A and B are shown apart, each in its own frame.
Chain A
Amino acid sequence: MSAAQWRRAMNSGAGRYALRTATPAAAAPLPAVEAPRVGPAISAALGKIRLRHVIVLAAVIVYPLVVSPFFTFQIGGQSLALGLIALSLTFLGGYGGMVSLAQMSVAGLAGYMVAILGTSIDPISLHWPWWLAVAFAILIATGFATFVGWLSVRTEGIYTIMITLAIGVAFYYLTLQNYSLFAGHRGFNQVNAPDVLGVNLRDPLPFYYLSLACALGGYFFVQYIIRAPFGIALQGVRDNPRRMRALGFHVTAHRVAAYSVAGVLASVGGVLMIWYNNQISPESTGLGRMIDILVIAVLGGMRHPIGAFAGAIVFVLVQNFAIDLIARERFNLVIGCVFLAIVLFSPDGLLGLWAQLRARLAAFGAQAKFRSGG
């Protein structure tokens, strides 16, 4: 496949998105064509704060105080943790042009490392202090992500998805068949979140705020890095690797580095997930879970980091309430159909729908103003 074809495939949504937001030209300023400005970035970012940003931030902080523990933990905490893993895929796919299915394996490895190095009921565990175990888990999983990247960036576009899929499934079989390190099919149980300064992170409220802090950290980190020189170069590599190579950029190094960055995000998400689940087993990184992450990222839309979290919320809600729509065992059918509908009719996911809605509203408003003005 030529670079041009791949670019078209990746950008087929982007062009329309930009066009739609740009039509009501006066109302919505174009999403800034990022220039590398690191110094005044903060003041520029402050200037861009809109009312909706404040509302969303206030809502996610107040949310656990007004809803039941079930909604705080099962819906809120899980959405944020899954969203963080999906964010790593959004970063790789949306800004690096590389759709990796192995992000769940990276997260799973981080979880396994927390269980192996830290505390669990299994005799394999080494019972390190939790902060050391977490630090090493993130380090090792990031190393694994870098290795996955190193293997898969040698190929382009659609090949990446297959190679990362093969790596991910191979990792699943490894955890299933290896008993000396990964404890085989039984996995690790009772991997409890630690007590920090007298606060039990296992409780719904502390876990929610921990997840929220990690999610916000990840979100702003991605927001920052896509405007930093590295992020700009990465987007250049996504759009036209040949030209970037001619300009003297090391294309492969940028891609592998993107895998490492995404690996950090995914492994933090993986640590949260194992604390959420209290256990880890091969099923936690199976093909179904790997595809879940892709479903979340695509559902939300890969054009903006917030899409990952929007997708995660919808996904978790469907997962928990599919039982009311149709039998619980048919959850996969519901989410599969939702996913198919999104892919077939709105390639930009929920963000694409939101952009369409805003464009409609803006056009409607402009029309009304035109009419009343005569």
Chain B
Amino acid sequence: MRSRAFQLWAWLIVIGGPIAVFVVWALVDNARQFVSTFLNGVTLAALYFLVASGFTLVFGLMRNVNLAHGSLYLLGAYVGWEVGDATDMWLLAVAAGFLTAALVGFLLQVFVFRFMQGQDLRQTMVTIGLSIVLADLMLWQWGGVIYQFDPPRAIYGSLPMPIIRGYPTYRIVVFLGAVAIGLLLWWFLNRTRVGMMIRAGVDDRAMLAASGVNVQRVFALTFAIGAGMAGFAGVVGGTALSISPGEDTRYLLASLVVVIVGGMGSITGAAVGALLIGLAEQFGLAYAPTYGIVFTFVVMALVLAFRPRGILGKPA
């Protein structure tokens, strides 16, 4: 026990020391840049968490590495844009993005993945094939143009802040929304009957089936929720940033790295990973622009070297 506490302190000093030095330097040097970078990192992390939580949920229960997750993100974003453009109601667009992606995910589980349960590699290959086909179909339908839509007036504009003059209200709302969704997911998984079934399925699929639960229904529901989260994040992220071909790859990579760092199948892990990666990316971008992406990679390599299953990962 004593040596473990010692180890913890050693880690805190080795990793926390340089970070503390950097924070002090950055605050003294240019407090405004530091604060705005920090806020950017945290709000980007919120978006990453929204995408990655669906990915990790699906993987945790079904061991299905859904590499078409990025495509579902983009599909949700495009459909949301169409609906938002037609009705001028942002909330409707969010709902449409969620429902479309959820429906696609549900159909995939019922018509494809159900028949290859336990063949992880084959499922992954199928999702890769799907992502190729989906990306091309979306390029066909929506072209290579960049789309962007405005959030509703209530959360548009900027919010006065102490050190920096103002910060986009929408990003703050996204952050709050991500926290709310995270809490909602936690409540759903830990306090409801269906959530209990999902958690039981994560631990032991066969045992859950043996105790009389219709596992296929649980799987289909989980896949729909996971895919829906991607579509939801698509609309939210498309509003904050923009929608264009290639975003699917970007968010697939983001959710992969977040989930690898945080630990597969754990919602809390996704939150921790998203925070780490979001901050690393934004600070890298602000303080060492050419090597922004390398920071993300270094974080991942470090975590893998010392905790191969991610920070909060459990042995499968």
Residue of A163, A174, A291 touching B294 (CB-CB under 8 A): A174
Chain B residues within 8 Å of A178, by CB: 290-291
A163 and B133 contact, Cβ closer than 8 Å, known pairs A1-B120, A9-B122, A99-B121: no
A10 and B121 contact, Cβ closer than 8 Å, known pairs A162-B65, A177-B291: yes
Contact A333 B137 (CB under 8 A): yes
Report the minimum CB–CB distance from A326 to chain B (whole Å): 11
Q: B122-165: contact bitstring with A at CB < 8 Å (1 yes, 0 no)?
A: 10111011101101110110000000000000000000000000
Contact B65 A161 (CB under 8 A): yes
Contact A1 B253 (CB under 8 A): no
A336 and B290 contact, Cβ closer than 8 Å, known pairs A166-B257, A298-B125: no
Contact B290 A177 (CB under 8 A): yes
Q: A151-177: contact bitstring with B at CB < 8 Å (1 yes, 0 no)?
A: 100110111011101110110011001
Main secondary structure of the interface of A (DSSP, over half): helix
Count of CB-CB pairs between chains A and B under 8 Å: 120
By beta carbon, the residue of chain B nearest A1 is B316
Residue of B135, B136, B296, B304 touching A163 (CB-CB under 8 A): B304
Beta-carbon contacts under 8 Å, A313-359 to B: 329-330, 332-333, 335-337, 339-340, 343-344, 347
Contact A157 B129 (CB under 8 A): no
Beta-carbon contacts under 8 Å, B256-314 to A: 256-257, 259-260, 264, 289-294, 296-297, 300-301, 304-305, 308-309
A179 and B290 contact, Cβ closer than 8 Å, known pairs A151-B304, A151-B305, A333-B136: yes
In the assembled complex, B249 has its CB within 8 A of some CB on chain A:
yes
In the assembled complex, A249 has its CB within 8 A of some CB on chain B:
no
Chain A residues within 8 Å of B259, by CB: 162
In the assembled complex, A243 has its CB within 8 A of some CB on chain B:
no
Main secondary structure of the interface of B (DSSP, over half): helix
In the assembled complex, A287 has its CB within 8 A of some CB on chain B:
yes
In the assembled complex, B119 has its CB within 8 A of some CB on chain A:
yes
Chain A residues within 8 Å of B132, by CB: 291, 295, 332, 335-336, 339
In the assembled complex, A5 has its CB within 8 A of some CB on chain B:
yes
A158 and B290 contact, Cβ closer than 8 Å, known pairs A170-B296, A340-B133: no
Offer 29 A-B interface pairs, CB within 8 angstroms, sorted by A.
A8-B119, A154-B304, A154-B305, A155-B309, A158-B63, A158-B121, A159-B264, A161-B124, A162-B260, A163-B260, A165-B67, A165-B256, A166-B257, A169-B253, A170-B294, A170-B296, A170-B297, A174-B294, A179-B290, A287-B249, A291-B132, A294-B128, A330-B140, A333-B137, A336-B133, A339-B129, A343-B122, A343-B125, A343-B129
Query: What 4 additional pairs, Cβ within 8 angstroms, besides A1-B63, A151-B305?
Result: A157-B120, A158-B121, A295-B132, A339-B132
- Sorted nearest first, the 6 A-B pairs with minimum C-beta distance are A336-B132, A340-B129, A173-B293, A336-B133, A154-B308, A332-B136
- Which residues of B are interface residues toward A (Cβ below 8 A)? 63, 65, 67, 112, 118-122, 124-126, 128-130, 132-133, 135-137, 139-140, 249, 253, 256-257, 259-260, 264, 289-294, 296-297, 300-301, 304-305, 308-309, 316
